[in-house]
Amino acid sequence: MSRVYDIIDADSHVLEPLSIWSEYIDPAFRDRAPKVVTEDGGRFLRVDELSFDLGSSGLGRGGAIGARDEGIEEEFTYEMGRAGGFDPHARVVDMDLDNIDASFIYPTVGLKLVSLEDAELTAALCRALNRWLAEYCSAYPDRMFGVALLPMQSVELARQELEFARNELNMRAAILRPNSAQALFHHPEWEPLWDAAEDQDIAIALHEGGARAATHQPGVERFFTSPGARHSISHTVEMMIASLSLLWHGVCDRHPKIRFGFMESGGGWIAGWLDRMDRHYGDKEMHDTGLSMPPSELFRRNCWISFEPVEQSLTPLADYLGPTKILWATDYPHSDGFFPGAPKLIQDRPLSPETKAGILAGGAMAFYGLS
């Protein structure tokens, strides 16, 4: 590519207009597309067995950038979210405020919808979303890159959507939530998807989508009354489990060209987790894996991890992991995102210019195949 990328936001989000599923879904599923309903004094997005509050305590948080510091007004609704979440032309203005050259863009509502039980319907919703997201990004094709959402109830349907996203929509990465309701990622039934990801040269981003009982998240039920505790558990602990499955049980070993990214779970935990896996790898009593190299070496070959710009462990772990194994993100326009000012938080660190360049853009270019 001719464009120079110095600052890349590795994980931002859109706010999907709530009409896109009825407009972009295959006709056979149009009557089952998500619909906005009003009941009990509130507004909800409903599809099959799932229902999502569109107010400030639910999906309304999706576009409330800045709420980390100021909170969310009670009457704030999803449709009141940051304009750039809905409109690429408004988004590029916000990107320019932070001198962001490129953003990789993930869903908001879509991450919730993959909790559905119906595999065929979920696949149709993913296809509709991915079509719309590709169109959204086409307004600035060298600056905005959509990340395709995959259904998780069927590996075969996920494989089909991955290949459609790569070959028909020219997407460079696809999303799986870390907490599959099916088999763990190292189970043989997932192998066709990993084969396809290698063959298609498409990165796999693991990205959580909030705490819901149906997604089998460890610990959530023990802290159900504490949103902060649930968020901490559902994002970080789920990534620890997913990374254990992919590293310890050989997915990365069997697929040397596959690329996995662990997104929006913080990054500081990865050092101790890799050290712990390596210790068990070197322990004769605990070494129950046939890996060809220690898990930390597999991570450095196959994996990337996203740090929040405020994490204090970012500086030492840039040395531990290597700066081009680190991603950073604004999480724009979500309520807990970092906008404006995220790149400056990294630029102000006491790091060498080479290390800063690796963190700000080099890691994302390697993970997403942007060169």
Q: 67 lies in a domain?
A: no
**Distance of alpha carbon 93 from alpha carbon 143, whole angstroms:** 12
Question: Residue 144 in contact with residue 367, Cβ under 8 Å?
Answer: no
Q: Which residue has the tokens 């032309």?
A: 89
Contacts 24+ apart (CB under 8 A), 96-99: 97/340, 98/7, 98/330, 98/339, 98/340, 98/341, 98/342, 98/343, 98/344, 99/6, 99/7, 99/343
For the domain that residue 137 is a member of, what is the CATH number? 3.20.20.140
What does the block give as tokens for 58? 């639910």
pLDDT along the chain (371 residues), means of 10: 88 97 96 93 90 89 82 86 97 98 97 90 97 98 98 95 98 92 86 98 91 58 76 83 95 98 94 96 82 96 96 93 96 93 96 96 97 77
Q: What percent of the chain has pLDDT over 70?
A: 96
**Distance of alpha carbon 29 from alpha carbon 319, whole angstroms:** 50
Rg of the chain, C-alpha, whole Å: 20
Q: 152 lies in a domain?
A: yes
What DSSP line would sit under 112-124, residue for residue?
A: HHTT-S-HHHHHH
Q: 55 lies in a domain?
A: no
Q: 54 lies in a domain?
A: no
Q: 322 lies in a domain?
A: yes
Phi, psi of 326 (to 5 degrees): -110, 135
Q: 51 lies in a domain?
A: no
Residues of the domain holding 346: 8-33+83-368
Q: 62 lies in a domain?
A: no
Average pLDDT, the chain: 92
Q: Where are the beta strands (DSSP E) in 151-280?
A: 173-176, 203-207, 260-263
pLDDT in tens, 169-184: 999 999 999 887 667 8
Count up the domains in the chain and report the number. Answer: 1
Q: What is the pLDDT, as a whole number, of residue 214? A: 44
Q: What is the pLDDT, as a whole number, of residue 213? A: 38
pLDDT in tens, 90-127: 999 999 999 999 999 999 999 998 888 899 999 999 99
Question: Residue 171 in contact with residue 142, Cβ under 8 Å?
Answer: no
Q: 259 lies in a domain?
A: yes
What does the block give as tokens for 117? 């039980």
